Amino acid sequence: MAAPMEVAVCTDSAAPMWSCIVWELHSGANLLTYRGGQAGPRGLALLNGEYLLAAQLGKNYISAWELQRKDQLQQKIMCPGPVTCLTTSPNGLYVLAGIAESIHLWEVSTGNLLVILSRHYQDVSCLQFTGDSSHFVSGGKDCLVLAWSLCSVLQADPSRIPAPRHVWSHHTLPITDLHCGFGGPLARVATSSLDQTVKLWEVSSGELLLSVLFDVAIMAVTMDLAEHHLFCGGSDGSIFQVDLFTWPGQRERSFQPEQDPGKVFKGHRNQVTCLSVSTDGSVLLSGSHDETVRLWDVQSKQCIRTVALKGPVTNAIILLAPVSMLSSDFRPSLPLPHFNKHLLGAEHGDEPRHGGLTLRLGLHQQSVLGGQDQLRVRVTELEDEVRNLRKINRDLFDFSTRFITRPAK
């Protein structure tokens, strides 16, 4: 049985001929291209191994392509505003998008907009689910990182405002990237910021496990699957490797390149925008504003391959190629539904809001209507009730009159 093929999926902000390119990781062979629009940073996601989603740069829609169809025009998922970041749940059931300071959650099977969370104070810059889809983490320009329980969000009581499980406010400048490790509720989350630090958090306890200070702002962060190493992309084009297992008991430390010369990848001429590690942890993929994608050997820190794109690289990820990408006969199990732009009872900006939360409850939950709609419905109900009372009173009066005026026998 052949080993699974790893591929690199890349986008840039120019996209003159295609929006997204897929190439085989080790041979560099071009496998697929998808055309239509320009994908924004943190705006590329694979949905259920069947669709590729890309949030369009500065636009209010998400492009969707079937993985194997050739020369196709993308489907468009219209959104209430420009999408700043995008992710999908590993189980393929949900799509998350950051739109301004709000987080929108859609159910894939129905296209229903389930919830809008508004707990960030500035634009949401990055989103990611944990590996078991039980939690998701959001980072924003307001310097906050929020960890959410998906179950708590979906089972929200209309009388209460769901709160994130953890609010991490240790960063002092906008969040640039985050990465969730494996372990579901026990996962660790790495976050990077313009404040020149990378921090490691524990989802279960909410504790800060590690904080590393660098000499430059960190624009991208990732970990290998074994979580032995943190890879941090700097604003000067350098990539720093932090060995987690060599720092027992140390919660804070400064990274000194002169003391760790064998832990720096050098080659990019401008800031690193995205990082991804292969399954076995031997290869690192990086994208940069210098319009190149580079493949690195982790052990030697040498660049294996350089791919030139037409504009600053916005996304570069390594993934195991799903069957749908390699088989020309594959078709999605279900068509992608129409995604709703608004919650029930919320049209043209008239959203039903509950404090910092806007809700649309699921199929088995009561719908929450907007203030004006709710008032109209209540007035109609009261008018019907008044008409019924008048009829009952009239019938009682007629019966009493007949009874009182009935002739005596």
Give the model's pLDDT for residue 249: 66
Range in 59-68, 165-174, 183-192 the model is least confident about = 59-68
The pair of structure tokens assigned to 326 is: 């390699």
The pair of structure tokens assigned to 102 is: 């709000």
pLDDT in tens, 82-134: 999 999 999 999 999 999 999 999 999 999 999 999 999 999 999 999 999 99
Radius of gyration of the chain (CA): 27
Range in 188-192, 253-257, 278-282 the model is least confident about = 253-257
Nearest to 189 by CA among 245, 135, 252: 135
- Looking at residue 363, its amino acid is L
Per-residue confidence at 360, pLDDT binned at 50, 70, 90? very low
Range in 34-43, 258-267, 294-303, 339-348 the model is least confident about = 339-348
Give the model's pLDDT for residue 344: 62
pLDDT in tens, 369-384: 445 666 667 777 777 7
pLDDT in tens, 140-174: 999 999 999 999 999 867 667 778 999 999 999 99
- Region 207-233: what's the mean pLDDT? 95
Q: What is the 3-state secondary structure (H, E, C) of 87-103?
A: EECCCCCEEEEEECCEE
Q: Is the pLDDT of residue 333 over 80?
A: no
Helix (H/G/I), strand (E/B), else coil: 380: helix
Give the model's pLDDT for residue 359: 41
Query: C-alpha angle 9/38/289, rounded to 5°?
Result: 70
The pair of structure tokens assigned to 314 is: 């916005």
For 68-97, b where at least 16 C-beta lie within 10 A, e where not — what string?
Answer: beeeeebbbbebbebbbbbbbbeebebbbb
**271 vs 26, more confident:** 271
Give the model's pLDDT for residue 351: 44
Q: Is the pLDDT of residue 362 over 70?
A: no
Helix (H/G/I), strand (E/B), else coil: 408: coil
Per-residue confidence at 358, pLDDT binned at 50, 70, 90? very low
Q: In whole angstroms, what is the distance from residue 5 CA to residue 9 CA?
A: 13
Q: Is the pLDDT of residue 385 over 50?
A: yes
What is each CA distance from 296 to 4, 231, 301, in whole angstroms?
A: 20, 12, 6
Give the model's pLDDT for residue 384: 78
Q: How many CB atoms lie within 10 A of CB 312?
A: 18
Give the model's pLDDT for residue 81: 92
Domain locations along the chain:
6-325, 368-398
Nearest to 101 by CA among 79, 80, 118, 83: 118
Give the model's pLDDT for residue 337: 86
Residues near 279 by Cβ (< 8 Å), separated by ≥ 6? 6, 225, 318, 320
Choose the CATH number for 6-325 among 3.40.640.10, 2.130.10.10, 2.40.110.10, 1.10.238.10.
2.130.10.10
Q: What is the mean pLDDT of the chain?
A: 85
Per-residue confidence at 409, pLDDT binned at 50, 70, 90? low
For 370-384, b where at least 16 C-beta lie within 10 A, e where not — what string?
Answer: beebeeeeeeeeeee
